[in-house]
Amino acid sequence: MGFDGYDEPERRSRARRSSRTPSVSGPAWRVLRRLLFPRPETTLAGLDRVFLYIVLALRTIDVTKLIPAVLGTAGRSPQPALSLGLGTLFVVWSAVLIVIGLRDGSLGRRGWLVKVDVLISCVCLLAVLVITPPELRISQWDAWGGSVTYTSALFAGMALKRHRSRLLAALLLWVCAVIPTGFVSGHPDIVLIGWTNSLVYPAYTAVGWLVSDYFRRVAEATDEARRLATEAAARSAAEAEAARHRALLHDQATILDLVARGIEDPTLADSERRQAAVEARKVAAFMTEPPLTTAPAQDTDLASLARADAHDFADLNPVVSVDLAEGTVVRASVATVVGSALTTLLHNVRRHAQSDLCVIHADADAGAWELTVRDDGVGFDRENSRIGYGLGELVERASTRAGLDVRVESAPGEGTTVTLRGGPETTVREERASGESMTGPKGRATLWSS
């Protein structure tokens, strides 16, 4: 129940409403839905489509105003037929502009569209000299040319590529708007208002350019950032894949190196055969398409984990002192990292240390556990020596990513000691004779010693 029970009445109500509403689908509906509810992409191409929708929406409003204006003022016009013809031309051209723009998805793809639009607007503005009486030339209803051509200035500012072209379009529209009202004798108010209103055209052109230029630069920066992010993700994926290959091949390289030298020690030969079989299965699984997944890791007893790894390196005669960690259960994800790190460390001892003694020690208390691998071999200069991939990546970095503390101590001629220490991710448990587990305060697992 819970929230599901609470939401059940609403789900039933929606189901009843949907059962009463016929399903609408098909190409026509999809086209209509894209027109009514456009969702352009956040790219440069998507921005061009946004500008297209803005201009076309404004042009649709202009046409909506134009039709009643032409029909309603025909009786007051000295040339009603010319007024009707120019109005029809503007409507037809606007329809052509809308169709071509929607098909192209952009207003700037065809430069001639802008030029033709500006010229038709100029004709409509100059026609006010003929179709509108002088005293009515500032009326947005009678002198309809001035009220439906502002979009042309905005269109020119957005779509034209060169500053010179924008300036020329703005100047041409301004001049054509000034001429009908700028020289009406006996009507100084009309002249003043006409000159003032005509400034809208260069202003709209400037606004169209400033807005479109800014958002285009933002879109270009976004596209560039998206491209760089894609390349970075590809590089990261390639690096991760290379790391997988290195992790897979690291221990195998050690095995192959020993085999190539020739193994005379029967104990070492037996150990290498077992490990080679395990690594061969890993490679076979890796080479399948898709790669086979390994069995899910499980929580593991730290002492058992150390003993199992030490068994595969019997040729080193390791001293395994892990009784103090008996019953320390490490969660699955950490156990995988610890097992891989321990195997890599023992391979390094076998291949590089030239040691007589190798000690694997594990200890635990109520709050943490510790696993140490120590040898008395040649060691290395921790400050000046280059750390190999095994110790650097498979031990230090992998353990750190798993939330473990790692300490590497070494000096030339004094051997090497590597310590892994885990904390809260470890569950330490030991059962009483009765089988009842002992836990400390607040349920925290506690190590109980006899």
Q: What is the pLDDT of residues 374-414, one digit of tens each?
A: 999 999 887 777 777 788 888 898 899 889 999 999 999 99
What per-residue confidence (pLDDT) applies to 89? 93
Query: What are the residues whose beta carbons fall under 8 Å from the beta carbon of 399, sequence distance 6 or more?
Result: 337, 338, 341, 406, 420
The 3-state DSSP class for residue 262 equals: coil
What are the residues facing 364 on neighbouring strands?
369
Q: What is the tens place of the pLDDT at every residue in 56-70?
A: 889 899 899 888 888
Average of per-residue pLDDT across 422-443: 42
What are the residues facing 369 on neighbouring strands?
364, 422
What per-residue confidence (pLDDT) applies to 201? 92
Mean pLDDT, all residues of the chain? 79
Span of 101-110, 142-151, 209-218 with lowest mean pLDDT: 101-110
Residue 171 φ/ψ region, left for φ over 0, alpha for ψ in the -120 to 50 degree band, beta for the rest = alpha
Going from the C-alpha of 197 to that of each of 35, 140, 202, 203, the distances in angstroms are 33, 11, 11, 10
Span of 27-31, 34-38, 420-424, 438-442 with lowest mean pLDDT: 438-442
Confidence band of 196 (pLDDT split at 50, 70, 90): confident
Query: Does pTM surpass 0.75?
Result: no
What per-residue confidence (pLDDT) applies to 191? 77
292/287 Cα distance (integer angstroms): 8
Q: What is the tens place of the pLDDT at every residue in 146-183?
A: 888 989 999 999 888 889 999 999 999 999 988 887 76
Token pair belonging to 102: 């929607």
450/445 Cα distance (integer angstroms): 16
Q: What is the tens place of the pLDDT at every residue in 330-374?
A: 888 888 899 889 988 998 898 888 888 999 999 998 768 999 999
β pairing state of 328-330 and 416-422 = unpaired
Rounded to 5 degrees, what angle do the CA atoms 342, 348, 354 make? 130
What per-residue confidence (pLDDT) applies to 121? 93
Confidence band of 432 (pLDDT split at 50, 70, 90): very low
Confidence band of 52 (pLDDT split at 50, 70, 90): confident
Average of per-residue pLDDT across 244-259: 70
β pairing state of 300-301 and 319-321 = unpaired
**Percent of the chain at pLDDT exceeding 90:** 24
Flag whether pLDDT at 442 surpasses 60.
no
| pLDDT top residue among 255 and 314 | 314
β pairing state of 300-301 and 328-330 = antiparallel
What per-residue confidence (pLDDT) applies to 145? 86
Average of per-residue pLDDT across 248-274: 71
Q: What is the tens place of the pLDDT at every residue in 69-91?
A: 888 888 888 899 999 999 999 99
What per-residue confidence (pLDDT) applies to 440? 34
Flag whether pLDDT at 309 surpasses 70.
yes
Flag whether pLDDT at 327 surpasses 80.
yes
Q: Name the packing angle between helices 150-159 and 44-72 (round to 10°).
A: 160
